[in-house]
Structure 1
Amino acid sequence: MKLIAITLTVFCLVFFGCKNDNINANKSYKEIQEKALSLSNTGDSIKQLEALQLYEKAFNKFPDSIDEYSRYDVSLIASKYKKFDLAFRELKYLAGLYEDEEGYPGWSYILDEYAEEDYKNLKQDKRWEVLYSKALIDKKQFFENLKADEKEFFNTKKSKDLNAFEAEELYHYLKTSNNYLPKKKQNYSISFKINDTVNTSYFIHLPKNYKPENKYSVLVVLHGAVRGTSLSEYETVSNLKYFNRFYTKYADINNVILVFPKADKNFNWMLNDAGFFMVPKIVKQIKAVLNIDNNKVFISGHSNGATGSFSYLVKQPSPFAGFYGFNTQPKVYTGGTFIQNVLARSFINFSTDQDYYYPPNANDSLNVLMANLKADYKDYRYNGFPHWFPEFDESEPAHKILFDDILKRKRNPFPKTIEWELDDNANGNIDWISDIKLDTLKQKESWHKTLNFEINKWLKYSKNDSLIAVDVNKKAFDFPRQSGKIIANYDNNKFEIKTSCLKAFTINISPEMIDLKKPVKVYINNKLHFNDTLNFNKSILLKTWENTLDSNQLWINAINFEID
Structure 2
Amino acid sequence: MRHSFRPFGRFHQRRLFLLPFLFSCLLWAGLSISATQAAEEGASTDLAAQVWQYLTTQNAEQQSTMLASIVQRPDATVQAVQDLLRKGPPHGLQPVGLLSDEQIVVRERPYRLSLSIPQSYEPTRDYALIVCLHGAGFTGEAYLDRWKSRLGEGYILACPTYPAGAWFTRRAEDLVLATVQAVQQRYRIDPNRIFLSGMSNGGIGAWLIGMHHAPLFAGLAPMASGIDDVLFPFLENLRTTPTYIIHGSQDQVMPVELSRKLAEELKNLGYPYIYREHDRTHAMAGGHFFPREELPDLVKWFDNQRRTPVPKALTVVRDASHLLPFGWVRIDATDQIASFSEDLVDKRDDSIRQRTYARLIAQVTGPNRIEVKTDRVRQYTLFLNEDLVDLSKPVVITTDGQVSFEGIITPQVDTLLRQARLRQDPGQLYPAHLTLSVPQRPS
TM-score normalised by L of structure 1: 0.61
2: distance between equivalents of 1:427 and 1:259? 27
**Residue 292 (structure 2) aligns with:** 396
- Structure 2 residue aligned with 1:375, among 259, 271, 276? 271
- Structure 2 residue aligned with 1:160, among 24, 34, 49? 49
**Residue 112 (structure 2) aligns with:** 201
More divergent stretch after superposition (180-189 vs 336-345): 336-345
* Counterpart code for 2:205: G
Q: Is residue 502 of structure 1 aligned with residue 416 of structure 2?
A: no
Tell me how far 1:437 sits from its aligned partner: 2.6
1: distance between equivalents of 2:358 and 2:16? 48
2: distance between equivalents of 1:363 and 1:321? 20
1: distance between equivalents of 2:401 and 2:224? 43
Tell me how far 1:211 sits from its aligned partner: 0.4
- Structure 2 residue aligned with 1:426, among 322, 339, 344? 322
Stretches (4+) displaced over 6 A: none
**Residue 248 (structure 1) aligns with:** 148
CA deviations over 1:19-63 (Å, ceiling 9, x no partner): xxxxxxxxxxxxxxxxxxxxxxxxxxxxxxxxxxxxxxxxxxxxx
2: distance between equivalents of 1:365 and 1:420? 21
Question: Mapping of 1:259-278 within 5 angstroms?
Answer: 259-265=158-164, 268-270=166-168, 272-278=169-175
Q: Is residue 536 of structure 1 aligned with residue 411 of structure 2?
A: yes
Q: 1:351·1:380 contact (CA, 8 Å) conserved in 2?
A: yes
For residues 177 and 219 of structure 1, do their structure 2 counterparts lie closer, same or farther at Cα, with a shift above 3 Å needed? closer
For residues 229 and 498 of structure 1, do their structure 2 counterparts lie closer, same or farther at Cα, with a shift above 3 Å needed? same
Question: Mapping of 1:274-293 within 5 angstroms?
Answer: 274-293=171-190
Q: 1:425·1:435 contact (CA, 8 Å) conserved in 2?
A: no
**Residue 239 (structure 2) aligns with:** 343
CA deviations over 1:384-428 (Å, ceiling 9, x no partner): 326666867xx2332112211111111111111112222224254
Question: Mapping of 1:42-441 within 5 angstroms?
Answer: 139=10, 141-143=11-13, 146-147=14-15, 151-152=19-20, 155-156=24-25, 157-158=28-29, 159-162=48-51, 163=70, 164=73, 165-188=76-99, 189-196=101-108, 198-225=109-136, 228=137, 238-241=142-145, 245=146, 247-251=147-151, 253-265=152-164, 268-270=166-168, 272-331=169-228, 337-385=233-281, 395-440=291-336
For residues 221 and 418 of structure 1, do their structure 2 counterparts lie closer, same or farther at Cα, with a shift above 3 Å needed? same
1: distance between equivalents of 2:415 and 2:372? 22
Q: 1:423·1:438 contact (CA, 8 Å) conserved in 2?
A: no
Q: 1:326·1:349 contact (CA, 8 Å) conserved in 2?
A: yes
Tell me how far 1:433 sits from its aligned partner: 0.6
Q: 2:250·2:288 contact (CA, 8 Å) conserved in 1?
A: no
For residues 177 and 261 of structure 1, do their structure 2 counterparts lie closer, same or farther at Cα, with a shift above 3 Å needed? closer
Tell me how far 1:229 sits from its aligned partner: 6.2
For residues 369 and 185 of structure 1, do their structure 2 counterparts lie closer, same or farther at Cα, with a shift above 3 Å needed? closer
2: distance between equivalents of 1:430 and 1:149? 27
Unaligned runs of 5+ in 1: 1-102, 106-138, 442-477
2: distance between equivalents of 1:325 and 1:402? 11
Q: 1:315·1:427 contact (CA, 8 Å) conserved in 2?
A: no
For residues 380 and 391 of structure 1, do their structure 2 counterparts lie closer, same or farther at Cα, with a shift above 3 Å needed? closer
2: distance between equivalents of 1:524 and 1:292? 37
Tell me how far 1:344 sits from its aligned partner: 3.6
* Counterpart code for 1:240: L
Q: 1:510·1:555 contact (CA, 8 Å) conserved in 2?
A: yes
Which protein shows a greater Rg? Answer: 1
Unaligned runs of 5+ in 2: 1-6, 30-47, 52-69, 338-351
Question: Mapping of 1:450-461 within 5 angstroms?
Answer: none
2: distance between equivalents of 1:382 and 1:556? 47
Tell me how far 1:376 sits from its aligned partner: 0.9
More divergent stretch after superposition (204-213 vs 324-333): 324-333
Tell me how far 1:514 sits from its aligned partner: 1.3
Q: 2:202·2:222 contact (CA, 8 Å) conserved in 1?
A: yes
2:310 alignment partner, SS class: coil
For residues 376 and 336 of structure 1, do their structure 2 counterparts lie closer, same or farther at Cα, with a shift above 3 Å needed? closer
* Counterpart code for 1:248: K
1:259 alignment partner, SS class: strand
Tell me how far 1:336 sits from its aligned partner: 6.4
1: distance between equivalents of 2:293 and 2:202? 20
Q: Is residue 511 of structure 1 aligned with residue 386 of structure 2?
A: yes
Q: 1:418·1:487 contact (CA, 8 Å) conserved in 2?
A: yes
1: distance between equivalents of 2:16 and 2:209? 33
For residues 332 and 185 of structure 1, do their structure 2 counterparts lie closer, same or farther at Cα, with a shift above 3 Å needed? farther
Tell me how far 1:440 sits from its aligned partner: 3.2
Instruction: Count residues with an aligned counterpart.
Output: 373
Q: 1:217·1:256 contact (CA, 8 Å) conserved in 2?
A: yes
2: distance between equivalents of 1:326 and 1:170? 41
| Structure with the larger helix share | 1
* Counterpart code for 2:144: L
Give the percent of matched residue pairs that are identical in Structure 1 and Structure 2: 19
**Residue 82 (structure 1) aligns with:** none
CA deviations over 1:266-295 (Å, ceiling 9, x no partner): x9421x223311111221122222111101
2:372 alignment partner, SS class: strand
Q: 1:214·1:291 contact (CA, 8 Å) conserved in 2?
A: yes
1:354 alignment partner, SS class: coil
Tell me how far 1:239 sits from its aligned partner: 4.2
**Residue 37 (structure 2) aligns with:** none
Q: Note the aligned Cα RMSD (angstroms).
A: 2.8
For residues 492 and 184 of structure 1, do their structure 2 counterparts lie closer, same or farther at Cα, with a shift above 3 Å needed? same
